[in-house]
Every structure is written in structure tokens, then in C-alpha cells.
Amino acid sequence: MNKAVAEPRLADEGVTFTVEVGFTDRECLVSKNALAHLRRLKGGQLDFMETYHAFEDQIHGVARRLVVAGVSGTPLVLGAAYFV
């Protein structure tokens, strides 16, 4: 049976998404502050969701590493400091 994957969505605090690590799904949030930092790295006038998609692989990689490291929080919040 295939399970449905939750699409990323814009929230007041940033963009929420889900990563799968092992057999566990973990809800995450990349903050607007982190997205603004990433947007500055790329240059241009991307909105938050466009920035999320442009850096999706990097954002998911950071989230997976934090889950494996045992960082707590629901959702797991990824701030700008994780992308410096």
C-alpha cells in the first residue's frame, strides 16, 4: 500500500513539510527567517514557497540530520542558523 505524502504548505511561521527517516514521518517547519536567508543566497525576488522549492533538497537534508541527531520539537523547527 502506498501512503500519501503531505504536500508542503505555507504557514504563518514559514513552510511546513514532512520528512521520512527510517519508517518514521516527522513534521517540520522551515522558518520564514531561514527562507529569507536562503532567498538572499540565491538572489532575486522569490516568495517563501518558491524559495522552499528552490532549496528543497538542502532543507530536507538538514531536517533528516536533525531527526537522526534526536532534536525534539513538533514540528521540528529549522531556523536560519542551520543554513549558515
DSSP designation for 12: S
Domain ranges of the chain: 42-84
Collapse the DSSP code of 54 into the 3-class scheme (helix H, G, I; strand E, B; otherwise coil) and give the result: helix
- Mean pLDDT (10-residue bins), the chain, 84 residues: 72 97 94 96 89 97 97 96 94
CA–CA dist 44, 51 (Å, integer): 10
8 residue type, one letter: P
> The whole model's pTM is what?
0.91
